Amino acid sequence: MTGFRAARYSSRRPPVLELRKKQLMASSTSSAITLKINGEKYTLPVDHRTTLLDALRERLDLTGTKKGCDHGQCGACTVLLDGRRSVACLQLAVAAEGREITTIEGVADGERLHPVQQAFLDLDGYQCGYCTPGQICSAIGVIEEHAAGWPSAVTEDIRPEAGRPPLTADEIRERMSGNLCRCGAYVSIVEAVARAAGAGPDEERPLPAATVNVKETAA
């Protein structure tokens, strides 16, 4: 065997080839990305398979966003992407690059709680609190979606000319149905979302008086 062939078939590859192979493998499975989270930019290398949820919790120490099912079924990991609700466990971190990511750590205005946070506090919209960050991010999205006139599956009249549907308890339940609460704090969660939205009374299933026309909370 010639010297060239001996080198080619040798089990010990020249170090430079091994290095190149490692570089190629690394570049095909990971990237350096920059995520904009709560107004701050974070640059980090990530495996392409890393979910946004794991990037937030395990890489950036933003542990307010919770992991429940890790399968898109419980809503515990809900964050806002460009203002819209998204379950971070089904979102790849690389796909979130260039988006405005808002987590529970970023919804308050300094020391001043977001109206949804305040309503959850005032109305006991939680028990153990594990689902609460996702519930609050989701509720913020719900209020925005409703304000924009988006119908839900229980909206009776979805014609554009019908306008924005009233944010009844049934509407809130339907719109928040992707967020599960193992503690069963649903009654208070519905009240808190209604209060934060400044929603009026639900004619079919009246909300408690405390939740009616409390717009000053949302101001």
Binding status of residue 72 toward ligand FES by CB under 6 A: yes
Sequence-distant (6+) residues with CB within 8 A of 24 are: none
- 132 or 152: CB nearest ligand FES: 132
Binding residue for ligand FES (CB under 6 A) from 131, 140, 190, 193? Answer: 131
Stretch that binds ligand FES, among 4-12, 55-63, 182-190, 200-208 (CB under 6 A): 182-190
Spatial distance between the Cα atoms of 50 and 84, rounded to a whole number of angstroms? 21
Find out whether 143 and 83 touch, Cβ atoms under 8 Å: no
Taking CB under 6 A as the binding criterion, the range among 11-19, 35-43, 61-69, 150-158 that sits at the site for ligand FES is: 61-69
127 touches ligand FES by CB under 6 A:
yes
In a 13 Å sphere around the CA of 192, the CA atoms on its Cβ side amount to 26
Does residue 121 bind ligand FES (CB under 6 A)? no
Task: Supply the minimum distance, in Å, between the C-beta of residue 187 and ligand FES.
Answer: 12
The string of DSSP codes covering 27-76 is HHHEEEEEEEETTEEEEEEEETT-BHHHIIIIIS--TTS--SSSSSSS-T
Binding of ligand FES at residue 63 (CB under 6 A)? no
Interface residue with ligand FES, options 76, 92, 104, 167 (CB under 6 A):
76
Binding status of residue 104 toward ligand FES by CB under 6 A: no
Which residue of 89, 92, 172, 196 would you call a contact of ligand FES, by CB under 6 A? 89
Give the span between the Cα atoms of 16 and 19, in whole angstroms: 5
**Residue of the chain from 57, 68, 176, 193 that contacts ligand FES (CB under 6 A):** 68
Q: Which amino acid belongs to residue 124?
A: D
Q: Which residue, 68 or 115, is less far from ligand FES as judged by CB?
A: 68
162 binds ligand FES (CB under 6 A): no
Residue with tokens 């939740």: 211
Quote the crossing angle between the two packed helices 132-147 and 186-197, to the nearest 10°. 40
113 Cβ partners below 8 Å, 6+ apart?
Answer: 121
Question: Does 183 sit near ligand FES (CB under 6 A)?
Answer: yes
Residues that bind ligand FES (CB under 6 A): 67-70, 72-77, 87, 89, 126-132, 181-183, 185
